[in-house]
A and B are shown apart, each in its own frame.
Chain A
Amino acid sequence: MALENRDRHKQIQRWWKDFYCRLVKIFVLILAVTFIINLIKKDGTFSEEENRVLAKRPEFTWDSVKSGKYMAEFETYISDQFFARNQWITLKLYEDRFLGKRESNGVYLGKKGYLMEAADNPDWGNVEKNMDSMASFAEKYPDVPVYLSLVPNAAYILKDKLPYGAPCRDQSEDIQKVNSMAGDSIQVIRVEEALKKHAKEDIYYRTDHHWTSLGASYAFEKLAEEMKIENPETDYQVYIVADDFEGTLASKSGYHKSRDAIQVYEPKSHDTEYIVMYVEEGSKSASIYKSECLQEKDKYTVFFGGNHARIDISTTLKEERNLLLVKDSYANCMVQFLLPYYQNIIMIDPRYFYESVDNIMGSYGITEVLFLYNVNTFLGDHSIADVLA
């Protein structure tokens, strides 16, 4: 018996030794092969999947080493340029789904193929700073009405499509809070009800964090009413320009089950001629749409080719109504509705615009100002106060 035990003990020890020796060989092999692949692999510059520029090898300077910046950037570089990066990320998303998570990288996997982003917790101190600067801006131009309209996210408007119980900020409450900060000089235009009424329709993309043109059209009805646009168009020719759109939320979550259609709206009774100037870029165009963007991954950029620091649109309208539109990307698909009623629309995106807003106010004879933002971007914005200062 004792002998048998000793034999068994020896056998187990042998097993462990065998196991360890083989494990380390494979581990070292994996490390070596990975090292070599990463070394000879060409660096990518842009990740389509993540829609961002990948980190480049940082420059080696004494200062950047001393401050630790070099090391931090080098780590990001190695991680960003790791071989088969997209496949690794896909594997991670499979792991998440295997665990039964109803969200992936901060995106809810909702019902009916809807992907929805959870709204961030706002930094109210910063919001107040923005609101204060907007109020003093509005007071500087007492004759110019200043409007603010905030568009909620899909997760709030399409609440019933969220996974059961998934927490979601009450964005109406957030808008109410912004409203109470706004004072008398800013008129807040609330579009939540208008959107909620049509929650059964495709007012948000399933795979992207933006609203659709249809969603914008319902909000426009409300804007037209409040901004005193007379006889707004009610009849549109709708064109479907893409039906295989896979937006940023699909990339972010790695969940590739749905496709979206992108529509553009053309007013039937207004035939407006206009010219679009991309001021920073110094280019001109006869259309607010960029059809070449439909060949790219982010097809929402069909509206103006994405965000720009400043875009000037001049129309042939005789009436002197000039709009300054301070905005994020949600506004890009709203402009098609605003176009027929203004002689000039100056769009600025404070995240990229560093010049003086006062200059624009004077030299274009701006008659009204509209801040049009998604609630989430607005509550997280760190550029509005600076650009108005």
Chain B
Amino acid sequence: MIFSSVFFIFIFLPIVLLVYYIVPKKSKNVVILISSLIFYAWGEPVYLALMIFSIIYNYIAGIEIGYRRDEGNEGRAKRVFWMAAAVNLLILGFFKYYGFLIDNLNHILPVDIPNRALALPIGISFYTFQTLSYVIDVYKGNVEVQKNLICFGTYISMFPQLIAGPIVRYADVQSQLTERKESLAKVGSGTAWFLRGLGKKVLLANNIGMAYDAIMTLPEDEMSVLAAWIGCAAYTFQIYFDFSGYSDMAIGLGKMFGFDFMKNFEYPYMSASITEFWRRWHISLGSWFREYVYIPLGGNRVSKIKHIRNLFAVWMLTGLWHGAAWNFIFWGAYYGVLLMLEKYFLKNLLEKLPGLVRHVYTMVLIMAGWVFFFSPGIGSAVKYIGRMFGIGAAGLINPAAVYYLYNYILLFAVLILCSTPHTYRRFSVFMQQRTGRCRIAIAAYIVMFVLSVAYLVNATYNPFLYFRF
């Protein structure tokens, strides 16, 4: 089930909200847990068993780590922890990377291991990281052991962020699991988040996604420089509005049930350097890697060589997290190199440059990065980037490119405006000037909702990019 569907908005959500708010306080987590399991089973019922196993296994592992520690048996606690970390990673590895590994082995070794493609359990990359954050923090003594299975199950399976994040660390929601305050204003703020996210996903991302799809089906002799840039720009906007829209909906839904999740995006395309971009893009993933990989390895408080090693470890893993293919690994390494260059060489130079130049530098590198992300392989990515700069392109400009530019120019303008914080800030300031404008603001949200629903009912086009991860 995805949020941007008629079924979720008009059937699932109203029922869950209604039940949640009529049951007594002590049963509220049960409602979330059960509805989350239904939500999870909706798409792939067979993997419900996997989810339940994950919950129970990690619940027991947490308790045992705590128990052994209280007993004073640190060695045993350590063994249980490493076992739990290994089990979680092996499950993720088996479903997500096994096929990739075998393909590569078959390629480099004179063997032919039979390989079958497994359907990736929805959200496994996200919830595995959540369970890991729990067992690591329990082991390090940062959080208390969760003794209540319902609470723990609620944390792992919570449907608002189950399938596409944000990756909520256990430490951040620990107290919210038992003591959270729902209020009308909070549900309202959740509604506003949700509707904004829905608009981003349905009106902006899906629409510009059609431009991307259309450009990608163009035959090679129609791929001019302009067409290549339109295609890449379309993807750049699609992935941002798709993913951040989905995160916003998750945050909004969380608020409807009294939870506060961290912000996942902070206008990433406003960045003036790659370093800044990664502080603004998919924040929950970045902070997870920093907390559980980068800092434990020593972070930047080590020798230069080790620091570079740490950077690369984090960025190869980040790439690999996004998908089991070489182009994702390359994409991660690409950012590793860029961040290292910025840190050691470009920092001073960049600071001297005017803002516009820095911004162009950042956007071009980000867009080139997305080419590695969306291309089926590294070879075709290099070819595509070549076309963007005139190498192997069908001229600078061609009728098909003009056609798509003309079709989407208004949407591109809207996308640019919505990628900056100014639009929303202006909107808020204008609305707050008088109390009477409250109604206008509400009308604006409702209109956005109605316009989105029209697309959902039409639903011929509602792919969801982040399902792959």
Stretch of B59-67, B171-179, B406-414 with 4 or more beta carbons under 8 angstroms from chain A = B406-414
Q: Is B451 part of the binding interface, using a Cβ–Cβ cutoff of 8 Å? A: yes
The verdict on A82 contacting chain B, using a C-beta distance below 8 Å, is yes
> Cβ of B401 and Cβ of A165 under 8 Å apart?
yes
The yes or no answer to B370 lying at the interface (CB within 8 A) is: no
Chain A residue contacts of B275, Cβ below 8 A:
none
Interface residues on A, range: 35 or more
CB distance from A118 to the nearest CB of B (A): 9
Tell me if A164 and B399 are in contact (CB < 8 A).
Answer: yes
**Any A CB within 8 A of the CB of B441:** yes
- List 20 interface pairs A-B (beta carbons < 8 Å), by A numbering: A17-B185, A20-B188, A23-B188, A26-B446, A27-B449, A30-B446, A30-B449, A31-B17, A66-B45, A67-B45, A68-B45, A74-B7, A82-B457, A88-B454, A92-B457, A101-B407, A102-B406, A102-B407, A164-B403, A164-B406
Q: Is the interface of B mostly helix, strand, loop or mixed?
A: helix
Q: Is the CB of A165 within 8 A of B185?
A: no
Q: Contact partner of A24 among B191, B406, B438, CB < 8 A?
A: B191
7 more contacts with CB within 8 A, not counting A20-B186, A30-B446, A95-B454, are A22-B188, A24-B187, A27-B195, A71-B1, A71-B42, A79-B457, A100-B406
A72, closest chain B residue (CB): B43
Interface of B with A (CB < 8 Å)? 1, 5-7, 9-11, 13-14, 17, 42-46, 184-192, 195, 203, 207, 214, 217-218, 222, 398-404, 406-411, 431-432, 435, 438-439, 441-442, 445-446, 449-451, 453-460
CA distance A142 to B29 in the complex (A): 75
Which of A23, A85, A88 has the largest number of chain B CB atoms within 10 A?
Answer: A23
CB neighbours of A32 from chain B (8 A): 14
**Closest approach, in angstroms, between the C-beta of A300 and any C-beta of chain B?**
23
Docked complex Cα distance between A342 and B192 (Å): 70
A57 to chain B, nearest CB (A): 12
Which residues in A have their C-beta under 8 angstroms from that of B401?
165
Q: How far is the CA of A67 from the CA of B214 in the complex (A)?
A: 33
**Residues of chain A in range 7-59 having any CB-CB distance to chain B below 8 Å:** 11-12, 15-24, 26-28, 30-32, 34-35, 38
- Nearest chain B CB to A374 CB, angstrom units: 20
Beta-carbon contact of A31 and B13 below 8 Å? yes
B217 contacts across to A, CB distance below 8 A: 121
Indicate the member of B191, B431, B435, B460 with the most A CB atoms within 10 Å.
B191
Task: Report how far A310 CA is from B105 CA in the complex, Å.
Answer: 53
* Interchain CA distance A89-B459 in the complex, whole Å: 9
CA distance A82 to B408 in the complex (A): 29
How far, in Å, is A111 (CB) from chain B's closest CB? Answer: 14
**A68 with B184: CB separation less than 8 A:** no
B14 touches A31 (CB 8 A): yes
A-chain residues with CB within 8 Å of residue B10 when the two chains form the complex: 31, 34-35, 38, 78, 82
Total contacts A to B, CB within 8 angstroms? 150
Report Cα–Cα, A20/B400, bound state, in Å: 45
Q: Is A241 an interface residue (CB 8 A)?
A: no
Within the complex, the shortest CB–CB distance from B13 to chain A, in Å, comes to: 7
**Residue from A30, A68, A101 in contact with B44 in the complex, judged by beta carbons closer than 8 Å:** A68
**Contact A20 B185, CB 8 Å, known A99-B207, A167-B218:** yes
A269 within 8 A of B: no
Q: How far is the CB of A66 from chain B (nearest CB, A)?
A: 6
Q: Are B42 and A19 touching (Cβ within 8 A)?
A: no
Least CB distance from B367 to A in Å reads: 23
Which positions 67-97 of chain A face chain B at CB distance < 8 Å? 67-68, 71, 74-75, 78-79, 82, 85, 88-89, 91-92, 95
Interface, chain A (partner B; CB < 8 A) = 11-12, 15-24, 26-28, 30-32, 34-35, 38, 65-68, 71, 74-75, 78-79, 82, 85, 88-89, 91-92, 95, 99-103, 105, 121, 163-167
B214 cross-chain contacts in A, Cβ below 8 A: 167
Q: Give chain B residues whose Cβ lies under 8 Å from the Cβ of A95.
A: 203, 451, 454-455
Contact of A20 among B11, B192, B207, B409 (CB under 8 A): B192
Q: Assess the A100–B187 pair: CB atoms within 8 A.
A: no
CA A252 to CA B234, docked complex, whole Å: 25
Q: Is the CB of A105 within 8 A of B442?
A: no
Given A15-B438, A23-B445, A164-B399, are A71 and B457 also a contact pair (CB < 8 Å)?
no
Given A15-B435, A24-B188, A88-B453: A75 in contact with B446 (beta carbons within 8 A): no
A74 neighbours in B (Cβ, 8 Å): 7
Say whether A163 contacts B11, CB under 8 Å. no
Residues A85 and B457 in contact in the complex (CB < 8 Å), given A35-B11, A79-B6, A102-B406: yes
Does the CB pair A99–B442 fall under 8 Å? no
> How distant is B219 from chain A, measured CB to nearest CB, in Å?
8
Smallest distance from the beta carbon of A68 to chain B beta carbons, Å?
5
Q: A19-B188, A19-B438, A21-B188 are in contact. Are A164 and B402 (CB under 8 A)?
A: yes
Q: What's the least CB distance linking A344 to chain B, in Å? A: 42
Q: A100 to B458, Cβ gap below 8 A?
A: no
Please list the 9 inter-chain residue pairs (A to B) with the smallest Cβ-Cβ separation, ordered nearest first: A20-B188, A165-B399, A165-B403, A24-B188, A88-B457, A91-B454, A92-B454, A92-B458, A75-B7
B48 to chain A, nearest CB (A): 10
CB of A322, distance to nearest CB on chain B (Å): 42
Q: A79–B7 contact, CB under 8 A?
A: yes
Which residue of chain B has its CB nearest to the CB of A102?
Answer: B407
A75 touches B403 (CB 8 A): no
Q: Are B45 and A163 in contact (CB under 8 A)?
A: no
Question: Closest Cβ of chain B: how far from A379's Cβ, in Å?
Answer: 14
Chain B minimum-CB-distance residue to A38: B10
A17: chain B residues at CB < 8 Å are: 185
B460 touches A105 (CB 8 A): yes
What are the residues of chain A within 8 A of B432 when measuring CB–CB? 11-12, 15-16
- How long is the Cα–Cα vector from A75 to B6 in the complex, in angstroms? 8
B298 to chain A, nearest CB (A): 43
- Shortest C-beta distance, B391 to chain A (Å), equals 22
- A34 and B458 CA atoms in complex are apart in Å by 17
A34 to B15, CA, bound (A): 12
- Are the C-beta atoms of A165 and B400 separated by less than 8 Å? yes
In the complex formed, the residue of B with least CB distance to A81 is: B6
Q: Is the CB of B184 within 8 A of A79?
A: no
**Cα–Cα distance between A71 and B11 once the two chains are bound (Å):** 13
Contacts of B403 in A (CB 8 A): 102, 163-167
| A30-B446, A67-B45, A100-B410 known; A82-B458 Cβ under 8 A | no
Which residue of chain B has its CB nearest to the CB of A82? Answer: B457
Q: In angstroms, how far is the closest chain B Cβ from the Cβ of A370?
A: 31
Residues of A within 8 A of B431 (CB): 15, 19
- Whether the Cβ atoms of B438 and A89 lie closer than 8 Å is no
> Which chain A residue shows the least CB distance to B402?
A165
- The complex places the Cα of A23 from the Cα of B401 at a distance, in Å, of 42
Chain B positions within 8 Å of A21 at CB level: 184-185, 188
Cβ of B218 and Cβ of A89 under 8 Å apart? Answer: no
Q: How far is the CB of B445 from chain A (nearest CB, A)?
A: 6
B residues near A34, Cβ cutoff 8 Å: 10
Chain A residues contacting B450 (CB-CB under 8 Å) are 91
Instruction: Kindly list chain B residues whose C-beta atoms are within 8 Å of the C-beta of A100.
Output: 406-407, 409-410
